[in-house]
Amino acid sequence: MNKTACSNILIIKMSSLGDVIHALPSLYVLRRTYPDAQITWAVHPAFSALLPGKPWIDEIYYVDRKRIRDWSYLKTVRKDLHSRHFDLVIDLQMIAKSALIAALSGGRKRIGYWDAREGSFLVSRPIKGAHQHGHIIEQLLDVMAYLGCDTEHFEFPVHDHGEEKRSVRAMLEKEGVTGDYVVIVPGTRGEHKKWPIESWGALARRLAERKIHTVISGAPSEKEMGEQIRALSPAPYTVDLIGKTSLLELAALDEMAALHISCDTGPLHIANAMQTPLIALFGPTLPGRSGPYGNLKADVLLADDPGKETTDMGTISVDAVFDLAVRKLKKEG
């Protein structure tokens, strides 16, 4: 594609947290190839905190998902986006709501990744590449390869969170955590993807017996899970920070951690972007498409008979997770 036709670019990836993080390598290679382009990213506010500012993104355009069916709001969006005169729109979501934003953008050329659902192919041209059935990050990078980007080397550009590191250190010190610690995230969207709470409690208890600090993290709605784990592992080595960190503070917490352990969830992908040593627990969903990617310090433990909604996450034993955690902590020093 002619590089002169890529001077004003709109990226559409509005949700969810993990999906937005999966698109960051595409942003990296796009900016490296088009250093002078104006790049705008359309996103829902709830998932925008990790998006970097300049030089990666020139403008973040917030789309209110609660008003996306409001005709008067859509007229405002159309006016806003048309005024920016995009010459290229890249839909990295390819579902109905992202197609709607692409259609309202006024962009002359509209492309997207190959898995076009909900009629999105009627608005943006799906781009098939060499990794059509590979990891989602690879599928998105295929779109960038079509634009002439070098996709062999990439990073996850994330918003600066130096200030959040300081606030998290203070939070940890208040809880008595001054050395290495393990982050565990028991929650995930979808009950069938969760590792049993009893297993999380047993893991935290066994780590506490080794005098290893475990920091429980998650969304405010998961507060009860933190309380249950603390009840199963009441030692001071188990610390509950569920609902007490922002997304950028979670990134800071993960970046400073000795190890992260979670299932297929947004915080897993934050840890992966931070290149934190991690253990990912997978079952109904398969890591080949949405697991850790580009992190040499990542390991995956699979439940028995994976890839089905009926896959039992309880078949991942506490022994297996604990033993791997101890080995990784020793290896990382």
Mean pLDDT, rounded, for 281-285: 97
Domains, the chain, with CATH or none:
3-146 (3.40.50.2000), 162-331 (3.40.50.2000)
Taking only the tens place, the pLDDT of each residue in 288-328 is 999 999 999 999 999 999 999 999 999 999 999 999 999 99
Residue 3 is predicted with a pLDDT of: 55
Report the interhelical angle of 162-174 vs 247-255 (nearest 10°): 80
Residue 5 is predicted with a pLDDT of: 64
Instruction: Report the C-alpha gap between 203 and 261 in whole angstroms.
Output: 10
Query: Residue 153: is it exposed, middle or buried by C-beta count within 10 angstroms (0-12/13-18/19+)?
Result: exposed
Mean pLDDT, rounded, for 39-65: 97
Taking only the tens place, the pLDDT of each residue in 210-229 is 999 999 999 999 999 999 99
pLDDT, greater one: 1 or 57 = 57
Q: Which residue has the tokens 């433990």?
A: 301
SS3 112: strand
- Taking all residues of the chain, what is their mean pLDDT, rounded to a whole number? 96
121 vs 10, 101, 113, 256, CA distance in Å?
Answer: 17, 13, 10, 42
DSSP 222-244: GHHHHHHHHHH--STTEEE-TTS
Instruction: Report the C-alpha gap between 271 and 252 in whole angstroms.
Output: 9
Angle CA 142–64–141, to nearest 5: 5
Residue 1: pLDDT over 80: no
Taking only the tens place, the pLDDT of each residue in 73-94 is 999 999 999 999 999 999 999 9
Q: How far does CA 325 lie from the centroid of its chain?
A: 22
Torsion angle of the four alpha carbons 149, 153, 154, 155, in this order, in degrees rounded to the nearest 10: -150
Instruction: Report the C-alpha gap between 86 and 12 in whole angstroms.
Output: 12
Mean pLDDT, rounded, for 32-61: 97
Beta bridge partners of 60: 41
Mean pLDDT, rounded, for 120-131: 97
Residue 331 is predicted with a pLDDT of: 87
